[in-house]
Structure 1
Amino acid sequence: MPPLREVIKKHGLSANKALGQNFLFDTQLLSRIAAVPGDLAGEDVFEVGPGPGGLTQALLQAGAAVTAVERDERCLPALAELGEYFPDQLKIISDDALAINTDNLFDKPFHIVSNLPYNVGSALLIKWLSQPKWPPKWQSLTLMFQREVADRIVASEGSNAYGRLSILAQWRCEARLAINVHRSAFTPPPKVMSAIVHLTPKEQPQGVDPALLERLTQTAFHQRRKMLRQSLKGFSGATEALATVGIDSSRRPETVSVAEFVALARQLS
């Protein structure tokens, strides 16, 4: 296979800022990312935004069967060429990942591994975490985010990074920072550092509506410096629910643990 830089030059590709693209050329780093979920030989993998196919190639070389969704039609010829080196291992879908139900793409459990476009990363994560059926069909999420977003996902209560993403991720998953990625690894280099986050599903607390928990945390952290009695003032039933579950309404949302938010959402349900 030709080096990725040659593929990009051949097809006249450049990172599209409007699509949140940043290309990775470091083959060692790409192989490390593909190894985070464990042995992928014979496994199905869903990838969002493969671009010219750097991470895709690493996943294919690890033995995975990859289904990748790419909305940038400029990248499709390069991905089609990559597929020729891995017969029957690569399927490309030209579409918007936010519009796709991943469960419908696979007959068996699968992994999601992606260098996510920065402009839709959080929205996709929330979509995968908020699905009604749990445990999900996906076995793990291995996702690239801006470091600031990655820190929010794994943050503990009481920290400045703790918030809505922390709670939505940790009530249903074990979440950890897997790899820090320097901005210089990308072309063009973004203004921020990045990180790989690895999430695996755990048994969810029962009696909690994912949509309600998402709305509750969004409301609570919209004004994170205010006391709960103020930030949740407009949320129907929240004042009474706080008292019932024993959460002091003078606390600020960043001091409330994941378990406490889950208990509050269960009470509101």
Structure 2
Amino acid sequence: MSAPLPSLRDQLDAHGLTAKKSFGQHFLLDLNVTRKIVRLAGPFEGRSVIEVGPGPGGLTRALLESDADRVVLVEKDPRFVPLLQELDDGAGRLVIVQADALKVEERTLVEGPAHLVSNLPYNVGTPLLIKWLTGPWQPCALTLMFQKEVAERVVAGVGDDAYGRLAVIAQATCEARIVMHLPAAAFTPPPKVASAVVHLVPHAARPDDALLKRLERVTAAAFGQRRKMLRSSLKTLGGAALCEAAGIEPDARAEVVDVAGFLRLAAALGG
């Protein structure tokens, strides 16, 4: 039987490691919290799990206690690789990839259906989510920690102050809900904002790649000038004629158009 692992704080001290602001690092060291996140994300039923930005491995420890077949870590900061290697019990379940998650091709890391479970670095959370929602690799579920403000933008409904491009793309591709809130004090060092965990399950019928690309163009234009009427904000894409083709009132503003309406706009945009 292997010896118990030292505490996360002791490991950080032993390796002389602290969070780097440039990497958006805030560590979650309470194993009761990380285990709860894993319970909310699972069960994994023997599938692989990818974790991005594991840092000292608080969430990793909980994932290794789960029914995941393999746990694949993608860590950009090379300082943490030796510490994460200490979590490997030699059973072949842990894989550590030192790389930038924005550039990684996930389908080269896992075979078959896989989950994503991560406490994402704050400075790249949104672009990573867009990559996973619209890219060629499709996880079977995503359970991700964001700043509370970003989490609210993911799940916002039409008419909400937080409703925008991120909500439309997330909800066009997934069922999304906030499953957990965490105060800033739960992290080391504490960020200036609270956080929340979002659980996303892809729709059985995801829009095809071409439609998603058009949806990105339409939402970028519409919410880039959200106070303007769509006839103006979408002028370069067809303006009033595009709106009419999609059955959308040209004088409407982006925040009152639901996800289905934006999908119709994307479809009407054509090639």
Same fold at TM > 0.5: yes
Q: Secondary structure at the match of 1:36?
A: helix
Query: Given the alignment, which residue of 68, 77, 83 partners 1:78?
Result: 83
Q: Distance in 2 between matches of 1:14 and 1:177?
A: 29
> Is the 2:29–2:187 contact (alpha carbons within 8 Å) kept by the matching residues of 1?
yes
User: Any residues of structure 2 matched to 1:1-269 within 5 Å, and which?
Assistant: 1-64=5-68, 65-83=70-88, 85=89, 87-132=91-136, 137-202=138-203, 203-205=205-207, 209-235=211-237, 237-269=238-270
Moved more, 35-44 or 67-76: 35-44
Question: CA offsets, 1:250-269, max 9 Å, x none?
Answer: 11100000000001100112
**Per-residue CA distance 1:29-49 (angstroms, 9 max, x = gap):** 100111112223522000101
Q: Distance in 1 between matches of 2:147 and 2:181?
A: 10
Q: CA deviation at 1:104?
A: 1.8
1:101 offset after TM fit, Å?
1.0
Cα distance in 1, alignment partners of residues 259 and 206 from structure 2: 12
> CA separation in 2, counterparts of 1:35 and 1:238?
47
The one-letter amino acid paired with 2:115 is: H
Whole-angstrom CA distance in 2 between matches of 1:188 and 1:104: 33
Superimposed CA distance per residue, residues 99-126 of structure 1 (whole angstroms, 9 cap, x where no aligned partner) = 1111121121000000000111100100
What RMSD over aligned residues (CA atoms) do the two structures have, in Å? 1.4
- SS of aligned partner of 1:261: helix
SS in 1 for 2:252: coil
SS at match of 1:6: helix
> Per the alignment, do residues 49 and 207 of structure 1 end up closer, same or farther by CA in structure 2, a change over 3 Å counting?
closer
Q: Is the 8 A contact 2:134 2:209 kept in 1?
A: no
Sort the Cα spacing of 1:233 and 1:93 in 2 relative to 1 into closer, same or farther, 3 A: same
SS in 2 for 1:67: strand
1:66-95, Cα deviation, whole Å (9 max, x unpaired): 101111111111001111x36311110011
Equivalent residues, number: 264
TM-score norm. by structure 1 comes to 0.94
Q: Distance between the aligned counterparts of 1:249 and 1:157, measured in 2?
A: 17
In 2, the alpha carbon distance for the partners of 1:188 and 1:131 equals 32
The Cα shift of 1:206 comes to 5.8
Tell me the CA shift for residue 234 of structure 1: 2.3
Partner of 2:140, secondary structure, is strand
Q: Return the alpha-carbon distance in structure 2 between the equivalents of residues 34 and 205 of structure 1.
A: 28
Show structure 1 runs of 4+ deviating over 3 A.
Answer: 205-208
Distance, in Å, in 2 between the alignment partners of 1:259 and 1:58 is 38
Flag the 1:31–1:221 CA change in 2: closer, same or farther, 3 A: same
**SS of corresponding position for 1:250:** coil
- Amino acid paired to 1:21: Q
How much does 1:195 deviate?
A: 0.4
8 Å CA contact 1:229–1:249 kept in 2: the answer is yes
Instruction: Find the aligned partners of 2:119 and 2:97 in 1 and give their Cα distance.
Output: 16
SS of the residue 1:98 aligns to: coil
CA distance in 2, matches of 1:140, 1:262: 22
Paired amino acid for 1:172: T
1:222 Cα offset (Å) = 0.9
Aligned partners of 2:142 and 2:200 also within 8 Å: yes
**Partners of 1:138 and 1:267 in 2: CA distance:** 28
Shift of 1:226: 1.4
How far residue 241 of structure 1 moved from its aligned partner, in angstroms, is 1.6
* 5+ residue gaps, structure 2: none
Q: Which runs of 5+ in 1 are unaligned?
A: none
